[in-house]
Every structure is written in C-alpha cells, then in structure tokens.
Amino acid sequence: MSEDGGATPAPYVLDVSVLTAITRGDYGIMTFIQGLDASGQPLVIPALAIAGASLDLRSDDTEAILHGLERLESAMIAPLRDAEQAVRLAAVIARTGLDPWDAHVAAVADAAVCPILTLGAARWREHAADLDEPLHFIEIADPDEGPGGPGPGALGARSGTPSRHLSYLLPCFLAQSRSDPDLGRTEWG
C-alpha cells in the first residue's frame, strides 16, 4: 500500500534505451522519469542496464547522471546479487540471445512480473515470448504520435495484455522546469 492508502502500482523496469536517452541529456525523457518518480511510481533500474548505458557515452557527466538516478525517491537499483541470479541471467541470455544488460532487464522484469519501460518496443516485441512467462513492456513515445502509428507511437505490452501508451503524460512533464527539491524530487540539470 502507498502512503495515501491506495495500492502501490507495479514497478516499471527501465531498460538501456531509457537510461541511454537520459545520459545523452534527453530533457523530455529526464522530466518524464522525474514525473513518474514524483507521482510515486516505483522504478527498478537493473545494475547491468546502468553499465550498458554508461558504455554509450563515457564522461563525468554521464557518470553523475547515472549516480543521480539512485537518488530518485521511487527508484531502486536491482543488483546481480549472487550465484543463483547470475545463473538465471545466463539462462535468460541463452534463451533470448540478448546482451547481458538487456538480459538483466528481462530477468528482473520476468522475476518481478512487471513491465519494461522502453524507447524501443521492437527489441522487446522480438523477445516477449522467449521466457516461460511473456515479457510485458511499455514504450515511451512521441507525444504528438498516437498509439498504433508507424513510428515510436506504435507500442504496447505483448502477449494478450492491453497496450499502454504513456506519451499522453509527457506534455505535462515537459512543461515543468526544474523540480522542486522541497517536494523530494531530484534535480537533473
């Protein structure tokens, strides 16, 4: 249960595409993730996804941004804790052919039964049925493009679950400038 007595929503697992957009300074994605955090939406960030995103752009700024994700109030880092998890990760890699960072995202989402938040639904669509239980994912899309369109707006959770489209939320977060530290939000800039 959440502090206001309502049910806590299922966490979103952030994938490498979202983390990479953040490290590249994509203001829209940054403010969108901040908005999710401010609303109390639980976020899970697999440690190997952080490693994958940090490989994209090596700099002190990238490192600082990735460290900043840890300070989000609703975010939790999912480590690779022990041999059992390492063996499970190897099994996900073997079954899906995903690289280790995406496979860690898939393993966390599969174990926690929660959706992957992504900018690239095609990658997850390809592997949605590779595990014992189908992977579910939500694509962050351009707010000007509706669900089912030809570009980033063509999205959805697969395997019979209803599609979700988060682009309708993005404009309200883009209108915000910097987050108010008094509200417990992390300032990115």
pLDDT per residue of the chain (189 residues) written in tens, 0 to 9: 455 566 888 999 999 999 999 988 888 999 999 999 999 999 999 999 999 998 877 777 777 888 888 889 999 999 999 999 999 999 999 999 999 999 999 999 999 999 999 999 988 988 888 888 889 999 998 655 544 444 433 333 333 333 343 433 333 333 332 333 333 332 322
pLDDT confidence of residue 153: 38
pLDDT at 35: 93
Prediction pTM value = 0.73
What pLDDT is attached to residue 158? Answer: 33
Chain-centroid distance of CA 186 in Å reads 17
Classify each residue of 43-65 as buried b or exposed e, where b means 16 or more C-beta atoms within 10 Å of its C-beta: bbbbebbbebbbeeeeeeebeeb
Is the sign of the CA dihedral 178, 182, 186, 189 positive or negative?
positive
What number of other Cβ atoms are within 10 A of residue 136's Cβ?
A: 22
Rounded Cα distance, 154 and 163, in Å: 10
Structural domains of the chain, ranges and CATH numbers in brackets: 12-180 (3.40.50.1010)
For the beta carbon of residue 131, count every other beta carbon within 10 angstroms: 17
Residue whose C-alpha is closest to residue 118's, from 29, 189, 37: 29
**Which residue type does 37 have?**
D
End-to-end C-alpha distance for the chain, whole angstroms: 32
CA atoms within 13 A on the CB side of 151: 7
Specify the pLDDT at position 139: 94
HEC per residue, 75-108: EEEECCCCHHHHHHHHHHHHHHCCCHHHHHHHHH
Please report the pLDDT score of residue 183 as a whole number: 31
Helix (H) or strand (E) holding 119: none
Q: What is the pLDDT of residue 184?
A: 33
Alpha-helix runs per DSSP H in the chain: 16-23, 27-38, 47-56, 60-69, 83-96, 100-112, 121-127, 170-174
pLDDT score of 128: 87
